[in-house]
Every structure is written in C-alpha cells, then in structure tokens.
Amino acid sequence: MVVNSINERLENIKFPTSSADISNVKRGFYKVAGLPNCVGAVDGTLIPIIAPAGLEEPAFVCRKGYHALNVQAVVDHNMRFTDVVARWPGSTHDATIFHMCGLRQHLEDNNLGWLLGDSGYPLRPHLMTPKINPGSVKEERYNKAHSQTRMVVERAFGMLKSRFRCLHKTGGCLPFTPEKSARIVSVCCKLHNVCLERNIPLIGDILIDDTLINDDVVTISQSIQTGINARATLIDLF
C-alpha cells in the first residue's frame, strides 16, 4: 500500500534536538517579531473524514458539526512540520491533545525553549499563550509579536491543505477509517516537508483554514505560576 510505504520510508518530521538546530530555529523565529527562545508554533486543525462505524462515532463529531480528526502539529519558522499527532477524534480539545503528547514531556524535562500556542492552550513555562484582555502597552506589543510569530503554523496548515485538497472541507472528506485517515495525514505532512526542501512551488493561493478558529479560551486558573512568571518576563521585553 502506497500510504504505508511512504510512511515507513520517509522520516522527515523531526523536532530539533542538537544545539545547532535549536539555535537556528530560535533565530528564525526571533527575526519575525523579536520573540526570543521560541522552538516552534503549535496548533490543531480539523481533517474531515467519513463517519466511522461503531460506538465511537459520536466522538469524531467536531465543534463544526462534521466528522473529523483533530490533528496537532508543531512547525518551525520555515513552515516545516517538526511534530505531528494525527490520532485524536474531532471532539477532542487542543489542550487535551497537547497534554497527552510526548513532545510536552520532552519540553518539560529538557528546558529547550517554548512553543507558541493560541488561547486554547494552557500557559506553561514551555508554552507561551496570548495575554487575554491586555492592560498595558507592553502586553499589547507582546500579543502582536506573539500573533505575528505564531501565524507560521496557520500558514503551514493552509499550504498543506492547498497542496492536498483531500484534507480540506472543500475536497469533501477522507472516505476511510480513522486509522487509515491518520496515516494519510501523516504522509501529506511528510510530503509537505519534501516540497519545502525541494522548493516545489504551490499552485494557486494558500487556502484559509477556518478550522483554526478556537472559541474555547483556557482560563488563568488552568495555568501554573511558573508559566505566568515566564510570560511576565517575556512581556517586559516589550
């Protein structure tokens, strides 16, 4: 099977581990809007699939009312996928997926830097989120820099779905089981990285991915003090 063969042979979704690679990613993100210590931008996107059979079917109905996978991805400053989790039903919240992923534990244990996430994620020392209701010029500047820098993951999803229209709602849905659909998503992310490496141009404009709109704001009570302190120090830079 083609999908399985590509997945087995192509291993190009790798989070940076060497000091040189991590420093390169941090420099790339810093050039965008002056945010230091950033090692990636994280977000989730909905991939429409056919309704699965069995008792698990309701779990795949996403907040927009159709059956989907909620796929989490981390990208670097070049829109390259460095971590992809493509196995959760569409009703699963982004924060839950991140809490359960191995990358979260890796970042906690190794203090490599932080990811940038939207307000649907909890504030952590390794995950910087926007300041809700900013009350000072510094906080407004921080939010602007955060948004400009994190936009790279939204553009990556838009480019991915433009290249592989089967992942976008305008292409219908993946008519396969959740397990096979997840493998297809992984293959498309790997091929996206290949296209970036080989400078293969995108035909047409980048699609707008409306599945990224997240109305579920994580409250401050779900943040931890070390995360609050880390973000406050970052805000002071602005």
Query: What does the DSSP 8-state code read for residue 118?
Result: -
Tens digits of residue pLDDT in 31-44: 999 999 999 999 99
- pLDDT tens sequence across 83-121: 999 999 999 999 999 999 999 999 999 999 999 999 999
Hunting for tokens 């990811």 — which residue is that? Answer: 115
Dump pLDDT digits (tens) for 70-83: 999 999 999 999 99
Q: What is the 3-state secondary structure (H, E, C) of 210-225?
A: HHHCCCCCCCHHHCCH
Q: Two tokens at 195?
A: 């296209």
pTM of the predicted model over 0.85 = yes
- Are 57 and 40 contacting, i.e. CB atoms less than 8 angstroms apart? no
pLDDT of residue 46: 97
Write out the two tokens for 86: 């493509």
CA distance 190 to 197: 11
* Tens digit of each residue's pLDDT (9 = 90 or more) over 185-234: 999 999 999 999 999 998 877 777 777 655 566 554 556 888 899 999 99
Q: Identity (one letter) of the amino acid at 124?
A: R
